[in-house]
Structures are given as structure tokens and as C-alpha cells.
Structure 1
Amino acid sequence: MSDVREAEGRMRLHKPQVVFGVGGGTKIDIAKLSSANQRVPFISVPTTASHDSMASPFASIKGTGRPYSIKAQSPIAVIADTSIIMEAPYRFTASGCGDVISKITSTLDWKLAHERREEYYAQYTSSLASMSARHIIENSSLIKPGSEEGVRVLLEALVSCGVAMCIAGTSKPCSGSEHLFSHALDLVAPRRALHGEQCGLGTIMMAALHGIDWRVIRDTLRIVGAPTTAEEIGIEDEYIIEALVKAREIRPERYTILNEKPLTYRSAKMLAEETGVIG
């Protein structure tokens, strides 16, 4: 939060008409939250395409006391230069695909919460988010190192996800059980992988819990060069299992498939093994 406070101080001093957030997800989120607090419009200028923060109204900031994102404000514009984004390590692009494909399970979780708890649910918004995931699946062969067309496909999907959250006024269409797993992993593992990489693994396992074809998700991630195993992201199996068990506790108010099918250590281990996430 110190970076957010520093940015707010500069805004009070210089009184800008608009704030530009230039960089990766962390820089954009700092600009997003600080400008929201100072009631200054914000423009997002991403230099990587690693997750959907570039167009969403939510920010993930260390020091807030929450392992998940908080409401900030939507950008009034997103300026994404594909030639600049292509200069970033390809790992960030593959991570972005993991974040987008997670909408397969997050939208299922959102609908489940509506059915079980009569929570607000918007079919159009859900369709927009899930369509973004299908866009990646259907065009996965285009997403590869050095492919500007692939970057465009990913950017379209990421911006659509951000718009879905703007319309819904909640992160639920884009953040479900797979994100809870990723947030839990951030807390229990001694080191982190990229957000989208963790969400990709989470989506494989949560898809299996939902009873849908998790192999399609795994295969798509492999095609775009994203990790599909704990070994590939450098995290030991024990932390994957612990995060699966702990995930439901991260946001108790958020109803997901983990409420329908609570995981014990044994069932979490079986889930991770059956989907090939751990060996």
C-alpha cells in the first residue's frame, strides 16, 4: 500500500486530469486504486498481457490485508500496443491465457451460487466471460512466441473479461474456485508462480470437480505453452494439496463448487493426481 499512498501524494501535488497506469499488472493496479481514491480518471497502458487486470475495475494490492482483489475503478480507456507486449517474455502471454481460460469454471461457480443462494447472476455478462475463454480455446494454435495475431486474440479476450466485470459490478464472472485456489497457494507456498499460471492449474482441477472435460483445458494450456503441472511452476505437490483444502476459507462468502464438494487432504490429493497436476 505504500506505493498507492505515494502515488496519491503525487496526485494531490500535481492535480492531474487523468492518470496513466503503464506497465504490468502491479503497476496498473497501483495506478487504478490510487486514482480511484483521488477520484481521478484512469487510463490503462499494459506492457504485458499476463492477466485481465488491464481492463477490470478491481485491483490486487499487497498490504490490504486481503489475498484477493478489491474494488477500485474501471479505466476510461485501454491502450495496448501489440509490438510492445510482444517484447515481454512469452511466459507472460501464456499466463494471460491461463487467466482467461479460468472463466470456464468461474462462470459455472457464479451460476451455482445463483441456483443455491439466489445470488445476483447476469446471463449476458457470464456469456461474455465464458466466450472469452472459448475464444482462447478455439484460437490456441495462433498463440505462440512471435505471433502478433496470437497477442491480439489474447488481448481481445482479456479486455472482454474486464468489461464483463465492469458490467456485473463484481469479479464473480471472472473469479471463482480456481482463483480461490490461486490465492490460497499464494499464502501457503514459499514462492509464487505467475497469477495466470496458478489459475490455469486451478481451472484444470475445478473443471474436474464440476464434472466437465478438464482435458480440453489442460490441452489448450499445453498448446499455448502454459504450465499444467505443479512441477512446471516450481511448486511442491504438498502445497498444491494444502491450497486446495484451504481455498474455500479464502472468501467464505463466495459460494463455489468447493462449497458443494468440500475437499479433505485425501480428496484434494486424489483430485490433483487424477488431473495430472501433481505426479
Structure 2
Amino acid sequence: MDGFSDLNLFALVARHRNLAAAARELGVTPPAVSKRLAQLERRLGVRLVNRTTRRLSLTPEGELYLANGSRILDELSELEQLVTRSRGEPAGLLRVNASFGFGRAYIAPAISEFVERFPSMQIQLQLTERPLSLQEEGYDLGIRFGEVPDARINARLLRKNRRIVCASPAYLKQHGKPSVPHDLARHACIVLRENDSAYGTWHFSRGKRAETVKVGGALSSNDGSAVLRWALDGRGIAVRSEWEVAGHIARAELTPLLSEWSLPNADIHAIYLERNRLSAKLRAFVDFLGDFLK
């Protein structure tokens, strides 16, 4: 068997820790992956993984093979990038992670235009509720909102994006407008349950002044699209990103509230690992995203 092919297979299995998931990504059956993995272990004369009915764990030999094999794969990728860069067109595979809402609305259409322009590119887009680790899950690029928490991660600002408190004109006609953040405590607020943020706690700032408000209401969801739908239906006050509500505000379907107050930063970044910093295909895609999202 091809040694590089073996390395790619093992790296994929190690990332998923599950034969079925690795098989789905490769487009083959789990028994086919299991057979190739067994052949690799026989060729090397060591056991690389401990198998259970649900997940796999790496043996010490498997950890060693993965660590050094990943370095070799990275070097091969860099070599290919040097060669393809000379022809002036990006080529190869990129794995991208983004959130469901923004990924569907913006990243998927951007990818469609990108691969039309650069037909030698392949892109796998994984949409998730929570951000995935680029390092642990093997992604080349992540789309993230707000501050970039890890200084070891490279980030490029793609688009400025505010969080906006808003409600429908019908709701405000019936219940009135809040004048200050603490007025929200007596309103029906539609709460988004996401990530590990404190449920129903909204943080406001105005200059050096900060206010934290515990809000509540009859409706909450882990899906931003549902929260927006309910706000449009007049069910309460919501906090949504500018990219999502700008059109509704322009059409007077939603009214922005407490505009003199700011909510936590929600700017949109592309993040990637240091080892991918000089990747021609990654740089081309990030440049394209920056132009597409202006």
C-alpha cells in the first residue's frame, strides 16, 4: 500500500476516533476502513489503535505514528502548495467550519462562487452549533464571532458586526420601548441558549458604564433563526447579529432598541493555525471571503 495513503487514512481515523465517521468522509464502508487499518498494523508489526464497540483510542505506538506522520503530511502539503503556487491558481482540499445560520446564509454561497472561479479546489464545509477545534478536528479554517480567545490562532477580520437589540413594531406598539437596559426585565425577551454563556444574561456598555440584565420570557431556543422568527412575529425582544437583521430593520419589520448602548463584540473572523499561515489555497480563500463579505 502507498505509505502516504496509509498516513492519511490513519490521521483521519485518529481525528474521528470512529471507523464509521472516517468511512463516511472517505465515501467507503466501515469494513473497508477496518481492513485497511488492520493491513497497516500488520505491515508495521504493531497495534496502532485499541478498538471498542463505539470508539477507538490510540496506543503509544499509534500516538507516535500520528505525531510524526502529521508532520510528514504537513510537509507534503507545503511542498504541493509551493508547486501549485507557481501556476498561479489555488488547488487542493480545504476543510471549513462555520455556524449553521451564518454558514448557510453567507459561507455556502461564497464557497459556491469560489469553486466556480477555482475549479481545482475542493472544500468540505462542516456546519455546527458550537465551534470545533481546528487542531483536534483537523480543520483548516474556522469562521468565528467576537473576540479571538487564543493568541496562538491566526485571525483575519472578515466583517464588522454588531449585536442589536430589536423587536417588531407590533410588539412595541403594545408594550412600549425600553429606555434603559434594566427596562428589559419587565419585557418579554426571547433568549438564545448557546455555547456556555450565562442563560438569559445580557451585558451592555456605554462608555465606562456597564450594566448586566437578567432577562426572561415565554420563549427560548438554541436556534438563532427561531429566535428571529419569533421576534418578527411580535413575540418579544431579541438580540441578533447585524448581518441577520439589517434587512429586516431596513424594511421596518424590526426596530432597533437601546442604540446608544453596546453589546459584546460580534465581529466575524476567519481563524487558522500558524502552520497554515502561508498556504496558498488558504490565503486565496480567505482573501475571497473578505471581498465577498464586504
TM-score range, shorter chain: under 0.3
The alignment's TM-score, normalised by the length of structure 1, stands at 0.23
More strand by percentage: 2
Higher relative contact order (CA 8 A, sep 6+): 2
| TM-score, normalising length: structure 2 | 0.22
Structure with bigger helix share is 1
Structure showing greater radius of gyration is 2
